Each structure stands twice: as C-alpha cells, then as structure tokens.
Amino acid sequence: MPANETAPPAKKKGRRARLIVLVLVLALFAGLGYGAYWGVDGVRASFPQTTGSLKVPGLTGTVEVKRDAHGIPQLYADNDDDLFRAQGFVHAQDRFWEMDVRRHMTSGRLSEMFGAGQVETDAFLRTLGWRQVAQAEYDTKLSPETKKYLQAYADGVNAYLKGKSGKDLSVEHAALKLSDGYQPEQWSPVDSVAWLKAMAWDLRGNMQDEIDRALMSSKLSAAQIDELYPPYPFDRNKPIVEGGKVEGGKYAPQTSGATGSGSGSNGTGSGSGSALGSQASTGTGTGTATGTGLADNVTAQGATVGLRNQLTALAATLDKVPAILGPNGSGIGSNSWVVSGKYTTTGKPLLANDPHLSPQLPSVWYQMGLHCRTVSAQCQYDVAGYTFSGMPGVVIGHNTDIAWGMTNLGADVTDLFLEQVGPEGYAYDGKVLPFTIREEVIKVAGGASKKITVRTTNNGPLVSDRSEELATVGTRAPVASSAPDRGDGYAVALRWTALDPGKTMDSVFKLNRAKTFDDFRKAAADFDVPSQNLIYADNKGQNGNIGYQAPGRIPMRGQGDGRMPTPGWDSKYAWKGGKDSNAGYIPQSEMPWDSNPSRGYIVTANQAVVESGTGAGKYPYLLTTDWGYGARSQRINDLIEAKIKDGGKISTDDMRTMQMDNSSEIAALLTPMLAKIQVSDPGVRAAQKLLDGWNYTQESDSAAAAYFNAVWRNILKLSFGDKMPKELRIEGSCMNVLGNGTGPADDLAKTVRECGTRGPDSAQPDGGDRWFEVVRRLVKDEKSPWWSSPRTLTQPETTTRDELFARAMKDARWELTAKLGKDQSTWSWGRLHQLNLKNQTIGTEGPGFMQWLLNRGPWNLGGGEATVNATGWNASSGYGVTWVPSMRMVVNLNDLDKSRWINLTGASGHAYNAHYTDQTTLWAKGELLEWPFGKDAVEKATVDTLTLKPEGS
C-alpha cells in the first residue's frame, strides 16, 4: 500500500487560485489598478542600496562593494569571514526572492509559500530527502573552514533580512505578505548546502532515458529500441581524453597527446535488448515478447502494463519537480574548451565556457568578484566569476593564477530498482528486510498540513509511494518464476549518488584558491556531485598550462548497465559497497584526466569522456552508455583545427565567434537529399528552393533555416513520433491506433483514439543529437520500416525514405504558412525560434496579466539544437527556445583584465530594476562585456560604491 496518509493533494486548480490573489496584489504594487496603491515607491522599496554606507553585524572591518554600469559587484575585504559575510549580504540585496524560493524547493516546503498545489512536489522532494542529506553533509563531511564560511555567508544574508519584510524584500514577497502574512525565516548554512542537491538533480544523467526505454518496450522491440539509442560514434567524434590507461591504481594520460579521430570502435555500445520485454513489431502491439528482459526475467506477452503505468506516473512526477538548471534531457549540457598559449595570439591559454541550461529570470548565475585587499593566511581569496545566489564562493571563473570551467559529464549516477514489498518490509536475497521509515509533515499556506510516510530500502527511497499509480508497481510486471511473488505489486526505489553525503562544498573553496594543476586536481577530488568535466588553464611558464579532470562519485555496478530498471531483490544487481561508502565508486585516482596534450587544446561538450571496454586504449570502467553524441564537440574541434592549421593563432574574439557558431550537422546531412526530391506542389517547390545554396547556418533572419527545421521536425514526427507509445508523445497529440489486447474490454481489431501524455520538456523525439545519429544510420536504408507512415485524409501512405521526406516537406510548408504567413520572403528562423524569460515561480503560472507584469521577451534567436550556439528546442513540442547558453565567458590568461563575460539576464532579481535584463539583448547578439579583475581595472569600471561597516564603527 502507498505510504500517503492523507487525501490526494490539491492539483493545479488550488495553486492557480492562490496565484490569482498574488497577481492582484502585484497589480497594486505596480500602480496598475485601484488608484495606483503604492505605485513606484512600492516597487522601488526593495531595490538595493548601492552607494554610501551600511552597518552589517558581525563584520570586523570594512568591505567595499564596487558595482559597474551593469550592477555587477566586486567585493573587497581584509579577511575571509568578512568577504563571505558580505557576499551573503549582496546576494540577498539583489536575489533574495530567488534564494527564498530555492531553499523552500530544496527542503520540500514550497507549499508553505504557494499553497496546496505544491504538496505533490513537496512530497516527492521530501521522499528524496535533499534537506536531510545536506544536513548530514554539514554535520559530518565538510571541513571546519568550509562550515565557518557557510556560517559567515548565512550571517550576511540574515544581516540583510533584519528588520525587512514584504515590499522591503521584493514585489513578490510583498504579494505573499499581504495575501497571508508570509515572513521569511533566517537563512542557515544548510540552506546553502542543499542547493547543491538541486544542482545535482538537474544534472543527474540518464534517468529519463532509463524510464523512456522501459516505456518504449510496450510498443517497440528490443532491436528497435537499440536503433533509437545507437552507440557513440568514436570513429567520427573524438572523446575528451584519448589513449590513457589505468595502471597501478592510477589513471595515466597519454603524454604524447592525441590528434587522431579515434579507434573506429563502437565503444560501450547501447546494451543488449529491452529490459522489460517487447513486441515484435510496431503497430497494434500484438507481437511476442522477445527482449532479454528485466534481469533476464521476461516471459509474458502484454505483461509490461503495470510497470508501464508506474513509470509513466514517475515521469509525470519528475516533470513537476522544479528544474532550476533545466529539465533533464538531451538538451542539458555545456561547451567548454581551452587552447594552449602555443596556439593563441596572446601566448598564454584562452579558456571558454558556456553552460547550457533552461532559461531563467533571473539567470541562475550571478556575476561577482571576491577580493582580499592583501592575500594572506587570514584572507586567501582573489577570485571572480559566476556564483549561485544562496551559496558562497565562485562556481566557475578564475583567480590570479588559474581559470576553470565546467560541462556536464553525464555519468550514469541514478538507477531505478524494482522492489518486492509487503507489510513487513521488502525482499532481498530471500529475506524480508524492514523499511527505514520517517514521518514528514508538509505545512500548507491557507490549508491543513499534510502528513506522509517515507519508506526507504537499501537501494534508496520508494519514489513510487508518492503516486496512486506507482503504488501498484508491477501488478503485471514481466518476471520469471525465479523472481519473488509480486504480491500487490513491485515498488520503485531510486539509488542516486547525491543521496549519500559528500564534500562538494569543500571543493568549491579549494577551486577558488587553487594555484597549480595539482591544487586543481585535489580540489576536483572532492567534487562528488554532480559529476562534471572540469577544464583548467594557468599562466605559468612560457605558454601556460592546460588540463582536464573528470571528477565525481560514479557507481560501480554488479550486474546490469543502468539502462533499464533493475531487480532490487537480488544483490547481484546492487551497487558495490554500502551506502555512504566510497568503496562502491570508481576511485578518484582512476578517473580520466589530461594535461598539456600535444594537440594543444582540450574540448568538452558532453561527448564521451573516454572509450570504455577491454584492450589497449580502453577505459576499464563504465561511466555511462548515454553520452551526448558529439555533434557540438566535434564542431568545436574542427573549428580549432581549421584555425591553427599551418601556424594560425586563435584570439579572444575567435573564441567568442566559435561560441556563436550556428552550423547544423543534421542540415548538412539531409539538405542535399531534400534538394533532389521531386516535388509537384508549387508551394512546396518554392519552399524547397530556399535550401538552394544554403550553408546550413541557422541565423535568426534565415528563411532556409526556418524551413529546414520545420522539415526536420516533421521527419521526426512521421518516422518516430507516431510510433512512440502515448506516454512519450507530446500531451494532446492524438492518433488512431488498434487496441492492444491488454484489457478486458479491449478488442485487437478495435480502433481507439490515443493521445499523448508527456510534457513539452521531455516529449520524444526531441530532435537532439541522439536523433541526428539515429537518422544518420537509417538514411542509408531507403526502405527501412521507420520510413513508413499511414495514409491520412490529405497525405498518401509512405513506405520509403524519399516518400516520407516529401511528405514532411509538404507538411512543413503548410505549417510555416500557418505560423509565419504565405509570403516566404517574410519567413525567418528567429520568428519561430523565440526566447521568452519567465520570472521564477509566480511568473510561470497564472493569467497573461501576471506574465506581462513579471516576464520579459520575446527575443528572436539563431542557433539551434546540438549546435555550438546551443539555443535548444524540443522538436516534439515546437520551436520555442528551451535551452540556452546560460552565460558565456572567455578568460585571457595573459591579461585577465582582457577577459570577457556575459550573463543571460542581469544582476538584479527585482522585476523593475535597471539590471533585471540589461544583458539579455547583448547576450542574444553574441556580445561580451568587459570583465575587470585587477584593482585598477575594477576602479575604472566602478560607477557605485557601497561601504559595509562593522556595527559600532
């Protein structure tokens, strides 16, 4: 039975009603109704003081806060405690609403702010226990020094909060206070640590792929699923590190460097069949299960329905969890690369980074400099870069000696375990073990509290307890006689590395003060979650040094490869080592790294880190089978190679230009084929001619890019989307299918109307570079069954590639006519591909008036999915921008004051402040701001100075 002990939580209706109340209050503040209630003064009440002086409790000396014309602060202090106390104060000045929402989310307490509509989300987050893990990290793992910094930061936030409420904090807080008297509580050090759990959740790896493959098995065969998850193309797209090896308990990079294009092997492959059984053919769903099965336990036709239902419910639950960095899927990633001084115009390294995350308003990043007036044992920091509001230190940036960047490594750090449960506990190796149980009470603004019970197995918390559908896990799950009795069904537990306490917060401070590559690698060793690709550059020696380190807590599994849900009752499938033990993870000393490769550069863009397997040059551990497929990374490699060929040099501006590269790999592959197709319809033929002479770049004003991407979207829909189970198709997409014979009222010959249920962020096919690779392999087979599509009222049946392409070209022509008009001369990619920025929480739901009040946009953008300028979009749901380079930076190690940076929005989180979105238009154009670092450069750029003073001074 599920562990929920109260009635099901209120759905979106309750939340919407509450938000409407908030909107009315916001209208009063904006002076838009009821006699301009507080008007301009009410809006400006929360703006930060940026000049003069303020007294801050706990400071031992003065701290100067110097802001430039974009409101970006540089802090100057005489000791570490004062520096981080001031950082907390300044973060709160500009971003406290964002910080307050985040801490309520990470602790599963959104209902306290927004009412009953958030109970379901809170219950799921309480089940994961982010806050409990953060508390354990603070209590048992972090160094005394880190804890001291966290406390100083919290004291700074609380100094800002003292005596403030409502409109003094933000317009949004004013709305909450007037609607029910909401008053923020004091900030705590654990509030900062818990943020790392949200970061890790959004970068958790292949959990969505694991769910999707399981759901696909209801309609596709194991072989078909494998076709949709092809192996990484090592023969074409370089991994990050080549030629290294593990020996003597240590990873040894190939010291001679690597310039080849790989071994041509298929690497780790994509697994061996469906883990849940499958059907022999697409269509009616009447085939015989042929997969190798859930722990080799597939037996019965149609037996996947129960598990399918629970995984569908889990996917829906995951979609509701606020994604601060972005929904987990193919788009999430980043670009970073570093070029040795041997190949730069400056003679020292250049380092570029642009993390690809979902667009947020304000941006998830906050630019800041943290400077000790004199670096010493008492004051160790002189660093600048991108910070997270709510957390001390700099996450990505540079100090006086080194620069570093990050991209998501994409390691598989989550597994779903099926658990055979009963009243007394859960089955494990023939025994019944008791659950670990805790009670949680969710307080609800404007309503009664809700009580839940969280049950945990040795594989992790039972995430299925949060849904009535998931409570009947495995009622028809495909298992063999060797499996335990299913009883009332199997539950689903989540094993995730981030649920074990770690030391990532220690790592952040170590990175901030690192001076050498050895310091950098020691800092990386503590970067437990999320697992990131860390790149490095310094200014030592003639040309400086460049490097790479793969850190992270990555599990070593028993049986299984993490591609499908695993039987939790069998210890053979458990992760090696116990919980909270490093014994079950790949040793950090054996994680891949590289230093000064002879090719002179390092590129990380979510491609494979290494080629796993046995034999020479292969990495002995499995990091994941679900890498990004290397479209962006190889393009960056090619751009660098082209520039340095025959003695060329790369400049800071060259790095910026590469960041804005809009070239489409899939367009280069398919456009020549599309151009050869015979088209009779004059309107379609006219659109086809747009592709003549097109260079495959997706500029905002390009009509060819608009038409090609519409064709690509329709190719995906016809060849793959319409063959997906409804649980993966976009919500509202309906089609007629034959009954599948799994229910008592079903008739195999009966046509039923079936509509998609997946949300827009994770619907498939999403059009990412995995789909590039799928289509690249299939286009060689002109009669592949994937090219079949049924006849409709307006379109004939297709059975070949060119027939389907022709149909997609026609559908795309009339789709764009409806969206952009009949006149092709007015078409442009940017009109389809727009960025809209939504204010956190209150700006994402509610009537259009609220969106107008708090949100900004649109901006017409170039770029696209899996391009270097990764303005991603989900092909199943439309053309709107869902992923962006959330910031861009280029660090010049020869002269740090000539480095450049930009943020997606601005420094301020206050909706009417001048710095709310003052960087966005520049960002959209690909421009970068000056990034002063040295004292003289900062002084020259300063327009406002605020002095923070100790009390009593």
- Which of 218-227, 475-484, 745-754, 866-875 is modeled with the greatest confidence? 866-875
- Report pLDDT for 915: 98
What mean pLDDT, rounded, does the chain reach? Answer: 85
> Per-residue confidence at 24, pLDDT binned at 50, 70, 90?
low
- 223 compared with 263, residue with greater pLDDT: 223
Ranking 344-353, 559-568, 734-743, 861-870 by mean pLDDT, the lowest is 734-743
Q: What is the pLDDT of residue 290?
A: 30
187-203 residue pLDDT tens: 999 999 999 888 888 77
Share of the chain above pLDDT 90, in %: 67
370 φ, ψ (degrees, to nearest 5): -120, 110
Structure confidence by residue, pLDDT tens digits, 50-87:
999 999 999 999 999 999 999 999 999 999 999 999 99
- Tallying the residues shown for the chain, one arrives at 953
Is residue 582's pLDDT more than 50?
A: yes
Looking at per-residue pLDDT, the higher value among 850 and 841 belongs to 841
Q: What is the DSSP code string of 334-388?
A: EEEEEE-GGGBTTSS-EEEEEEEE---BS-S-EEEEEEESS-SSS---EEEEEE-
pTM assigned to the model: 0.89
Across the range 488-502, mean pLDDT stands at: 87
* pLDDT class of 616 with cuts at 50, 70, 90: confident
pLDDT higher than 80, residue 488:
no
Residue 953 or 727, more confident? 727
Tens of pLDDT, residues 89-138: 999 999 999 999 999 999 999 999 888 888 998 999 999 999 999 999 99
- Residues 737-781: pLDDT tens digits? 655 444 444 444 567 788 998 888 889 999 999 999 999 999 999
Q: What percent of the chain has pLDDT over 70?
A: 81
pLDDT of residue 381 exceeding 60 = yes
Q: What is the per-residue pLDDT for 13? A: 43
Confidence of residue 935 (pLDDT cuts 50, 70, 90): very high
pLDDT at 749: 52
Our CA dihedral for 123, 128, 134, 136, rounded to 10 degrees, sits at: 110
Give 550's Cβ-side CA count (13 Å radius).
31
Identify the pLDDT of residue 192: 97
DSSP code per residue over 624-674: -S----SHHHHHHHHHHHHHHGGG--B-HHHHHHHHT--B-HHHHHHHHHH
Give me the pLDDT at residue 10, please: 39
Q: Is the pLDDT of residue 5 over 50?
A: no
User: Does residue 19 have a pLDDT over 60?
Assistant: no
Q: State the Cα–Cα distance between residues 236 and 769, nearest whole angstrom.
A: 14
Secondary structure, 3-state, 555-577: ECECCCCCCCCEECCCHHHCECC
- The larger pLDDT score, comparing residue 736 to residue 299, is at 736
More confident residue, 479 or 686: 686
Quick: pLDDT tens for 228-283.
Answer: 999 999 999 999 999 899 999 999 998 644 333 333 333 333 333 323 222 223 33
Whether residue 854 is predicted with pLDDT greater than 50 in this model: the reply is: yes
Q: Report helix, strand or coil for 131.
A: helix
Give the phi and the psi of residue 925 in degrees, each rounded to 5: -85, -5
pLDDT bracket for residue 42 (50, 70, 90): low
